[in-house]
Amino acid sequence: MQTTTVSELFSILNQSSILIKKQRQIPYLEALSATGRYIYEDRIGEEGIKKELETLYAHFFHEGMTAEEIRRAFQLAILKGMKEAHLPNHELTPDSLVLLFGHIVSLLMNERPFSVLDPAVGTANLLTGIMNQAKAEDVAAYGADTDGLLLNLAVTNANLQQKDIHFFHQDGLKPLLIEPCDIVVCDVPVGIYPDKKTAETYELNEIGGKAYTHFLFIEQGIKALKDSGYLLYLIPNRLFSEDRERHFHRFIHRHAVILALLQLPLSLFKNQEAAKSVLLLQKKERETAQANQALLAEMPSFSNQEELRRFMRKMDDWFARRL
Ligand code: SAM
């Protein structure tokens, strides 16, 4: 991957978004979404600054560039826009975790074609990152989100990377009109789910008397899987302490097998309360091979390259033995 290409692409997206933001007096993220659309549609809808934008966009697509470079550049621009907007619900899955998820999915599926759903897809940074690392050519991808602005960015992101993703602007906890998938991935939204009527359609709607969004998304993910399909989620560590009456524990036992639980380094998070882990489950069916032993591990700090490489080798060996 060329760092210069990523920074050149970011510079084009950034300069264009600043120009459009000024011209139309709109937030940076909306201007970024318009920028992406003008580039992939090859049609600029800004009369006053058309010439400047044309000159900028002339250098965007060039030979040898990759979708992953576009994802990284777009990710930098989204991060800039989110910082400016200060909206607490706008979050992006960090790059290190996108790479980790992509690596795990490519270990699980190898060269097999597969279908993948992200029921809280946000900007599709995670979903497109996984698709970019897939070894199979043929990936059917689906994403849902309630946030219109993030979903607009997701559509733009996917189009710029020439990724075919079916997006649904809807609550990811309501019924999803798709066939069962091979994999469900999600950086789950954490908190209390406000829609009582929908919550009542879930078994996990009363954990300690509350309907927590993060538990409901796990149940929804398992529902959306084919038998023996995989659920790969970023979950809050506190989920296990919230499950005092072990409803969740028993639910998982009935429907799935825990393959791995990787506790991420604390340095990635603001504090202990915000800390997260990667959870990998396989939906049960009679023939599901039971993992001899789940992979339970604490991941080393991502800045310790040596330790991280050692950990990844151990993880790859574990997958090679299991699959
Ligand atoms: N993986 C995403 C990315 O790469 O941009 C980031 C996901 S972000 C941590 C969580 C997402 O959950 C937000 O985009 C938010 O809008 C979405 N969300 C929250 N509640 C939701 C719901 N009920 N249905 C669908 N999406 C929801």
Q: Give the tokens for residue 108.
A: 């699980």
Q: In what order do the strands lie in the sheet containing 276-283?
A: 165-169, 139-145, 114-118, 181-187, 225-236, 276-283, 256-263, 295-298
Is 119 in contact with 176 (CB distance < 8 Å)? yes
User: Does the C-beta of 216 come closer than 6 Å to ligand 1?
Assistant: no
- Dig out the tokens for 252 from the structure: 């998982």
Ligand 1, atom 23, lies closest to the CA of 171
Concatenated DSSP letters of 93-130: --HHHHHHHHHHHHHHHTTS-EEEEETT-TTSHHHHHH
Residues of the chain with pLDDT under 70: 1-3, 286-292
Task: Determine if residue 198 is left, alpha or beta; phi over 0 gives left, psi from -120 to 50 gives alpha, anything else beta.
Answer: alpha
CB 92 near ligand 1, within 6 Å = yes
Question: Rounded CA gap, 294 and 268, in Å?
Answer: 24
pLDDT digits (tens, 9 = 90+) for 242-273: 999 999 999 999 999 999 999 999 988 888 88
Which domains, ranges and CATH numbers included, belong to the chain? 3-85 (1.10.150.470), 95-322 (3.40.50.150)
Residue 262 pLDDT: 96
Candidate from 87, 96, 145, 276 with most ligand 1 atoms within 8 A of CB, to mutate: 145
The predicted-structure confidence for 189-214, as pLDDT tens digits, reads as follows 999 999 999 999 999 999 999 999 99
Spatial separation of the C-alpha atoms in residues 193 and 189, rounded to whole Å = 10
Strand partners for 212? 192
Q: Tell me whether strands 276-283 and 225-236 are parallel, antiparallel or unpaired.
A: antiparallel
pLDDT value, residue 322: 76
- Residue 12's identity, in one-letter code, is I
Q: CB-based contacts of 307: which residues, under 8 Å, 6+ apart? A: 300, 301
| pTM metric for this prediction | 0.95
Beta bridge partners of 297: 262
> What pLDDT score does 183 carry?
98
Backbone angles phi, psi at 81, to 5 degrees: -65, -40
Ligand 1: atom nearest CA of 193 is 23
Question: CB of 123 closer than 6 A to ligand 1?
Answer: yes
Q: Identify the pLDDT of residue 59.
A: 86
What pLDDT score does 162 carry?
A: 95
Q: What's the pLDDT at 81? A: 96
CA 168 to ligand 1 center in whole angstroms: 12
> Ligand 1 in contact with 198 (CB < 6 A)?
no
DSSP 8-state class, residue 266:
G
Distance between CA atoms of 230 and 253, rounded to whole angstroms? 15
Confirm or reject: Cβ of 146 under 6 Å from ligand 1: yes
Q: Residue 90: what pLDDT?
A: 81
Residue 260 φ then ψ, to 5°? -155, 145
